Amino acid sequence: MQDSKKKIRLVAADHEFAFRQGLARLLADCDDMVVIAEASDGLEAVEAVSREQPDVAIVAISLPEVNGFEVTRLIRSASQKGYCISVNAGVTYQA
């Protein structure tokens, strides 16, 4: 039997491979969401969103090449479709 429920399509953009893979694995258990593309830098993120036209882009703020703020601005200026969620690990190291 075919599931007629439309899945929320996501692009995951983060320079950390472990984060992108972890997110994809976590969402693999969700019936209504799927990661359709991954990007390791800002340029790849803009290209992936342009190519795939996802419902949601999860964008790290600290992306190489083009930072997450600029990626979000570029995505929003190119299309009003979809949403961008910016993430930051907020990790602080103390000696």
List pLDDT tens digits, range 8-62: 999 999 999 998 999 889 988 899 999 999 999 999 999 999 999 999 999 999 9
Q: For strand 8-13 and strand 33-39, is the pairing parallel, antiparallel, or unpaired?
A: parallel
Q: How far apart are CA 10 and CA 34, in angstroms?
A: 6
pLDDT band for 93, please (50, 70, 90 cuts).
Answer: very low
- The SS3 of residue 49 is helix
Determine the pLDDT at residue 78.
81
| CATH (residue range 8-87) | 3.40.50.2300
The residue ranges of every structural domain in the chain are: 8-87
List pLDDT tens digits, range 66-86. 999 999 999 888 876 778 777
What φ, ψ does residue 13 adopt, rounded to 5°?
A: -125, 110
